[in-house]
Amino acid sequence: MTDTTPIPTTPVPTEAVPSTSLPSVPVSFVPRRIAVFGAGYIGLVTGACFADLGHRVVVRDILPERIDLLRSGDVPFFEPGLGDLILRNKERLSFTLDVREAVRDAEVVYVCVDTPPTASGDADLSRVWAVVEALKDTAAHLVAVVVKSTVPVGTGDRVRAALDEAGLHHVGYVSNPEFTAEGSAVDDFLRPDRVVIGASDETTARWVEGLYAGVDGPVEIMDVASAEMVKLASNALLATKITFINEIATVCEATGADIEHVARAVGRDHRLGPHFLNAGLGYGGSCFPKDSRALRAMASNSGYPFQLLNAVIEVNELQPRRAIQRLKSELGGLRGRRVALLGLTFKPGTDDMREAPSAVIASRLLAEGAEVTCWDPMARPAPVEPWSSTTRHPDVPSALSRADAAVLVTEWPELVDVDWSAAARRMRTPLLLDGRNLLEPAAMLDAGFTYMSVGRATRHR
């Protein structure tokens, strides 16, 4: 991309947890010593938030540059409030590359490593197994190993067996999936909808529940397999809601209905709710695409073709491509056209580019022979295609200069305040495809634009 921008121990657990969840009980705060493996989005937020609750935390990662950055007081990615949280708790929060240093005094190890998809769609658990292997010679004094990474159902049984084979029968195992969203991760951790704790015995479950004393949210205690499934099922259902409203939007475009009116009225039904009913260019990020594919692969491996999830994934992959076809039809072709992408990250409030629709859109525009310019206030795309063949600008007006069309990809709030009348005069063809339905159609017409959106008829100037 061309860039023009300048801890005490507990007894051996004995009481089994039934398959139904246990009622939560009041717990008092006891400061513990926690080792967190993985300094990515989940691990760093987990470590910082536990330190803020009063625990002593060591975060371990395998990347020297990341640990050096954290030791210097910087955060390797953007997450609102996280930097302040780390700074405020620097006396209780440290960072290391050394496994033994991380585990030396720890009572509990949190596994927060990546589980990316393999070629088959299954989760790659190699990083999880690397942590388990590292604990074999260092974890004799541990109370529990807690996996927060998203893993297939059944992983807990395999980890439990590995711990037993290593002579760590006394170490409890817990599945404690995360439900934090990028852009609000700190608040999601400290004020969650729920904390899910899956364990094979009640003693370990209650011990881990005690770590969350001070967190403002209900605790659900259940068996390990159910906890593992909760995470996958939650993300699959949210992905399904997004895909469903995008399908309805397509029908709205064909029939003259307005998806904004439809979604608002549908969302007022208390059985359905308004959340995740915003039509757009499809979901992205590190969770929904990966977890949907992992659940589909897990179902297929069990002999069940998850047809609904197949459709969800297929529709979502087509959504940004539909936008290109609409743009191509409106312009009569894209070869030789200059198209500006406004927003690159998969959502506002983050610098995360993983599975962002912008990558598909940029790739397709370039393949059609278009020139692509970009603007985003936070994104840090790698210097690879398609970004190597695009031009990044420091502000919206310069990105729009002499453009034949613009695509609003990410609903950054700054875009609401753009002087769109002036922007229209800078463009060769004032055409905007609002992929997030962020702007008001009437206002864009008044500004001189032909305005396209998702689930509504195109409005010509």
- Run of H or E including 323: helix 307-331
**Residue among 455, 406, 414, 412 at smallest CA distance from 431:** 406
Bond from prior residue into 386 cis (ω within 30 degrees of 0) = yes
Structure tokens at 41: 């989005």
- Run of H or E including 82: helix 82-88
**Distance (Å, whole) CA 192 – CA 179:** 8
- In sequence order, the β-bridge partners of residue 219 are 195
**Residue among 155, 291, 281, 159 at smallest CA distance from 235:** 291
Please give the single-letter amino acid code of residue 1.
M
What residues are labeled active site? 287
Strands of 405-408's sheet in order across: 2-3, 391-392, 371-375, 338-342, 405-408, 431-434, 450-453
Residue 298, CA distances (Å) to 151, 160, 315, 438, 458 in order: 10, 20, 20, 37, 41
**Distance (Å, whole) CA 340 – CA 69:** 34
Radius of gyration of the chain (CA): 24
CA angle 21, 24, 28 (to 5 degrees): 145
Residues 257 and 457: beta-carbon distance below 8 Å: no
Please give the single-letter amino acid code of residue 421.
S
**Four-point Cα dihedral 240, 356, 438, 178, nearest 10:** 60
Please give the single-letter amino acid code of residue 371.
E
Structure tokens at 297: 């692969």
- Run of H or E including 273: none
Q: Which residues contact 369 (CB under 8 A, 6 or more apart)?
A: 334, 335, 336, 337
- In sequence order, the β-bridge partners of residue 453 are 434
Q: How does DSSP classify residue 411? A: -
- Name the residue with tokens 């989940």: 42
